[in-house]
Amino acid sequence: MLSWAPLNGGFHVARALANHQIDLDDRRAAAEPRSHLARVVRQEGLNPQQAVAMMTGAKVARACYAVAEGGGVTVGAWCTAGLSNAMRVGDAATYSSAHAGTINLIVVADRPMTGAAMVEALQLAAEARTLAVVEAGVKSTRSGLSATGTGTDCIAVAAPVRTPARRAERYCGMHTLLGELIGRAVRESCTQAIRRAR
């Protein structure tokens, strides 16, 4: 997996991936997200070292899922959306006033990928998320201009571990089938989740 999740972000081999809902006023969880998520994962009977976890103030019950398939490749994308923290890239930073309204994405591909391809997959997921936000006409709570995401978004990309029998995809750009499918699945799941969040 590759993410910037509070629990085991970066490149991490894991057995579980979680998007945990917190109360909007849960200051303890927001102040110490890594330890909070480790406790949550442990309470579910899982080893925190073998899990990647993010959190959101958006309602997880409103998560939207989309799948894109083609050429024997399948990509799934799950999105939860909260827009109370919508911002435009380059807006003035709000260090002390971040809200928990977040667009979180989980993207799962059924093909192993090299580290470079996973970075590219993460970038494509961010682009597709941004496209969905712009197309929905979401405005920045900071500047009033078109938003490109929220100040606390998180994205996690997961793929099987490569084996001698399953070669890793070296590329994942817009000129690849895998990149196309990631873009389609993420845009659709985000579009639905943003619609539900309004």
Q: How big, in percent rounded to 5, are the helix, strand and coil portions of the chain?
A: 30, 30, 40
* Per-residue pLDDT, 24: 79
DSSP 6-50: TBT-EE---SEEEEEE--TT-HHHHHSHHHHHHHHHHHTT--GGG
* Run of H or E including 54: strand 51-56
pLDDT tens string, the chain, 198 residues long: the values are 999 999 999 999 999 999 999 987 888 898 899 999 999 999 999 999 999 999 999 999 999 999 999 999 999 999 999 999 899 999 999 765 556 679 999 999 999 999 999 999 999 999 999 999 999 999 999 999 999 999 999 999 999 999 999 999 999 999 999 999 999 999 999 999 999 999
* Per-residue pLDDT, 101: 78
DSSP state of 147: P
* Per-residue pLDDT, 100: 63
Crossing angle (nearest 10°) for helices 115-135 and 177-197 = 40
* Per-residue pLDDT, 30: 85
* Per-residue pLDDT, 22: 92
Instruction: Name the residue type at position 122.
Output: L
Is the model's pTM score more than 0.85? yes
* Per-residue pLDDT, 132: 98
Alpha helices in the chain (DSSP H): 27-31, 33-43, 115-135, 177-197
**CA 31 – CA 124 distance, rounded (Å):** 30
Residue 104: closest CA among 125, 119, 121: 125
